[in-house]
Amino acid sequence: MSGENIKHHCGIFGIFNCPEAARITYLGLFSLQHRGEEAAGICTSTGDKLFLHKDKGLVGEVFKENDMSQLPGDRAIGHVRYSTTGSSTVMNAQPYKVSYSHGEVAVAHNGNLVNTQLLRRELESEGSVFSTTMDSEIFVHLIAKSQYSKLEEAVFHSIKRVVGAFSVVLMNPKQIIALRDPHGFRPLCFAKLGKGYVIASETCAFDLIEADFIRELQPGEMLVIDDDGPRSYFPFEKETHQVSQCIFEHVYFARPDSTIFKDNVATVRERMGRNLAKEHPVKADIVIPVPDSGNFAAMGYAKESGIALAHGFTRNHYIGRTFINPTESARSLKVKIKLNPIREIIEGKRVIVVDDSIVRGNTAKSRIKLLRKAGAKEVHMRISCPPHVSPCFYGIDFPSKGELIAFNKTIEEIKGFLDVDSVGYLSLEGMFAATSQGAGKFCAACFTGKYPTLIFDAVDKFKLEKC
């Protein structure tokens, strides 16, 4: 991906009435690792008590055999994190577990709230004491202060005060509750496993554990799972909320083998590539993807254009997350370590490079330089989404407007900055046409600057550390 320093957000998982719940959750989180690499956690229940283990690191680093043995029970929730609000600390890792007047509750959250500061100030004025700097803690404070003693009733009535993006799993010793915000920003899926039930951010988590996909949760749906089975409630007034699913999930974040927002991700990306070829044709010898996120769009571009698909970059899959310090010179070296051009494929060729996005532009510029050095005769850049002109407030850590290359430069200026022979971005219409639902069901605020909610909070992922 040429979207320099765009970070994945989070992945959530829940399972009810399944032996070895912790181990199955581990496998589910492993499948969702692409959604967050900073921290991981699992909370289990035996029916009367919650058990938690979490830490910074990848799933395979956080959980060892002795950790799994300390997580008994046949129900669990899990989380992999990238911090879109709050620092990357163990304190801010999830699931987040507390004890309150009606027992224990744990929460795992994907998304970003946009009225956190308002709610936090209000709750603190009423006596609440916060122990983290993440917006997800808001959920447990609202539940704890509710007049309703039953978890499902407390969630049903308190959740209406929250604004923003939230796909959430909550758990007390007896129940798991899955909840999707009324705009449906982030995906949340439901499956059956034996006599039990599973919740996950993406369907790829079901494939590994051989669970049978049932459906996606509807925007605004609250799904309660306990010994009486699953049942749904709808706390929000549907007519007051426009469905605004994040289109960038299809462009980049979700795994290609997942089905989200009613479409297979790989299929959508291939269609985006086909539409890109229709909108921005150019004479060339080969089409090459920027692996891995550009693979399916490049495939679509090649099929539509009739130009041969070639794998001109080889990827080093073993680059560590802490291998390099994030200085500009270090980022340039990291590009070389991660992707290396194959001279024998590129030399003397007119090359179309297909990637999913360009954000700052520095990483894309470094890759173009590598292709030039490998002997590319021409380099044509094709991007399978529109130019990014605005930050995201709903769970993606995009840079500020001032750092977005498309906010500061025209297409011609971007061409000059990247040192390419041409550059072409997929249009909004072409992007939406690649989905089965069309434009009316998606949020594209990062491309348009038009946000589906009011933004109440400061534009800063560390906003709660400055309160």
32-36, 158-162, 454-458: lowest mean pLDDT where?
Answer: 454-458
180 and 291 co-located in one domain: no
Is the residue at 251 inside a domain? no
Query: Residues 63-84: what's their mean pLDDT?
Result: 92
Is the residue at 66 inside a domain? yes
Is the residue at 356 inside a domain? yes
**Three-class DSSP category at 110:** strand
Is the residue at 414 inside a domain? yes
pLDDT of residue 462: 45
What is the Cα–Cα distance from 96 to 394, expressed in whole angstroms?
20
383 and 328 co-located in one domain: yes
Find, among 93, 117, 120, 119, the residue nearest to 107 by Cα.
93
CATH number of the domain within which 334 lies: 3.40.50.2020
What is the Cα–Cα distance from 431 to 217, expressed in whole angstroms?
24
End-to-end CA distance of the chain: 34
- Tokens found for residue 404: 């977005």
Is the residue at 128 inside a domain? yes
CA dihedral defined by 59, 62, 68, 73, rounded to 10 degrees?
Answer: -70
303 and 201 co-located in one domain: no
What is the Cα–Cα distance from 395 to 77, expressed in whole angstroms?
20
What's the angle, vertex CA 168, arms to CA 162 and CA 171, rounded to 5? 110
Give the number of domains in the chain: 2
23 and 130 co-located in one domain: yes
108 and 15 co-located in one domain: yes
359 and 276 co-located in one domain: yes
Q: Please identify which of the residues 10, 385, 392, 443 carries the catalytic annotation.
A: 10
pLDDT of residue 73: 98
Q: What is the DSSP letter of 163?
A: -
* pLDDT above 50 (res 466): no
51 and 192 co-located in one domain: yes
Residue 177 belongs to domain spanning:
10-244
Query: Residues 167-186: what's their mean pLDDT?
Result: 98
Neighbours of 330 (CB within 10 A): 12
Confidence of residue 1 (pLDDT cuts 50, 70, 90): very low
Residue type, 407: F
240 and 285 co-located in one domain: no
Domain-ending residue, one of 186, 210, 244: 244
Is the residue at 170 inside a domain? yes
pLDDT in tens, 316-356: 877 654 343 445 555 566 677 889 999 999 999 999 999 99
- DSSP for 411-428 reads HHHHHHHHT-SEEEE--H
- pTM higher than 0.85: yes
CATH number of the domain within which 58 lies: 3.60.20.10
Q: Are 163 and 94 in contact (CB under 8 A)?
A: no
298 and 238 co-located in one domain: no
423 and 279 co-located in one domain: yes
Q: Are 252 and 260 in contact (CB under 8 A)?
A: no
46-55, 311-320, 455-464: lowest mean pLDDT where?
Answer: 455-464
Is the residue at 281 inside a domain? yes
Is the residue at 75 inside a domain? yes
What is the Cα–Cα distance from 294 to 296, expressed in whole angstroms?
6
Identify the bridge partners of residue 350 per DSSP, sorted by sequence position: 378
141 and 279 co-located in one domain: no
181 and 86 co-located in one domain: yes
pLDDT of residue 332: 60
- Which residues in 178-198 are b (16+ Cβ under 10 Å) and which e? bbbbbbbbbbbbbbebeebbb
Query: Annotated catalytic, 10?
Result: yes
Tokens 């299929």 belong to 267
Neighbours of 101 (CB within 10 A): 7
Beta strands in 331-387 (DSSP E): 339-341, 350-355, 378-383
**Three-class DSSP category at 123:** helix
**Three-class DSSP category at 2:** strand
More confident: 331 or 101: 101
Tokens 């009733």 belong to 153
pLDDT in tens, 250-262: 999 999 999 999 9
Q: Are 35 and 110 in contact (CB under 8 A)?
A: yes
Sheet holding 308-309, edge to edge: 308-309, 286-289, 350-355, 378-383, 422-425
